[in-house]
Amino acid sequence: MTEMQITAEPGVPQILTSREFAAPRDLVFRAFTEPDLLVQWLGPRRYKMTIDRWDLRDGGTYRYVHADEAGNEFGFHGVFHGDPSPDGIVQTFEFEGAPGHVSMDTATFEERDGKTIVRINSVFQSVQARDAMVDAGMASGMSEGYERLDDLLARLVANG
Amino acid sequence: MATTVADPLDAVFGALADPTRRAILSRLAQGEATVTELAAPFSVSQPAISRHLKVLEHAGLISRTRRATARLSHLRAEPLREATVWLAGYRKFWEESYERLDELLETLQSQGQETDRSRPSDPAGRSTT
């Protein structure tokens, strides 16, 4: 399994990631686009993902929520541009905790010898917006400090 | 103030964007070295290596001291750590997601093709009635 590559060049409002998966691209594409599959992997394990809207077509909108154990909810929404296919998914992405800060994400799926390389190109409105987004740790309380706090709270709340 | 202070991370990422400079840092991770020593594994001139060292020094990734006539370069880890921390949350989000996706894909494949589901070629057909 190849490690995920992240490229965030200085001065360019963009983040590129790439990762190889041991599955054919049609299957990987399904995992990215079928709601019942998507909720099983997108986001850290300790978040429960629910999908409010998922209209996978040109101009269709989506919205989903990540909820942590403490009941904090993080909503995300956007619009699909062009008909999503294994050749590419283009969508806008906005964290509802920072309205108006929108990135445009392009995901491509390249099959090689039965494996699939997924590349995501996220373009932000400015370098500052990109850095703020990354600084916020995907804006979902992903920083270690919060994580330890959540773990502590989860232990305190215990097996309710 | 009229001057614009560039984000120090810009300098760090700029310095790390070059493969020769990354190789120099890897070499320095093993201990201090002179320009001659650093240039040895590369097919570039010593002045070119010196220019790379200036970029690394400007980014705070190395410090340089003098021993007799030789200038020694040392790795400084702190800016590297900051650069890693900067992307750590983002990386963690996707790495953990993708590990889960690995597991899901494995499960889906081991379940076999007997439950051959609707092909992704009919996305419009997925709307509810």
Q: Predicted confidence band at A90 (pLDDT cuts at 50, 70, 90)?
A: very high
> Is B17 within the bounds of a domain?
yes
| Residue B30 pLDDT exceeds 90 | no
Per DSSP, the residues of B29-88 read TT--EEHHHHHTTSSS-HHHHHHHHHHHHHTTSEEEEEETTEEEEEE--HHHHHHHHHHH
* Nearest by CB: B98 against A19, A86, A134: A19
> Residue B32 sits in a domain of what CATH number?
1.10.10.10
B19 touches A at CB < 8 Å: no
Instruction: Tell me which residue range forms the domain holding B70.
Output: 8-77
Q: Which of A23-32, A81-90, B34-43 has the lowest mean pLDDT?
A: B34-43
Name the domain count of chain B.
Answer: 1
Per residue in B97-116, pLDDT (tens digit) is 999 999 999 999 998 755 55
In chain A, positions 37-66, which contact chain B (CB-CB < 8 Å)?
37, 40-45, 55-57
Report the half-sphere exposure of A105 (CA within 13 A, side-chain side).
20
> Is B26 within the bounds of a domain?
yes
**pLDDT on residue B115:** 52
Residue A104 vs residue B84, higher pLDDT: A104
Mean pLDDT, all residues of chain A: 82
ipTM: 0.79
Cβ separation A40–B104 shorter than 8 A: yes
Question: What tokens appear for B96 in the block?
Answer: 């953990």
> If you average pLDDT over residues B45-51, what whole number do you get?
92
Number of A–B residue contacts, CB under 8 Å: 114
> Is B115 within the bounds of a domain?
no
Q: What domains appear along chain A, each with residue ranges and CATH number?
A: 15-157 (3.30.530.20)
Mean pLDDT, all residues of chain B: 76
Cβ separation A42–B97 shorter than 8 A: yes
> Is B56 within the bounds of a domain?
yes
Chain A residues in contact with B104 by the CB 8 A cut-off are 31, 37, 40-41
> Is B21 within the bounds of a domain?
yes
The pTM assigned to this predicted structure is 0.62
Q: Where are the alpha helices (DSSP H) in A3-143?
A: 25-33, 35-38, 127-135
Interface-testing mutation among A142, A144, A146, with chain B (most B C-beta atoms within 10 A): A142
> If you average pLDDT over residues B22-39, what whole number do you get?
84
| Residue A111 pLDDT exceeds 70 | yes
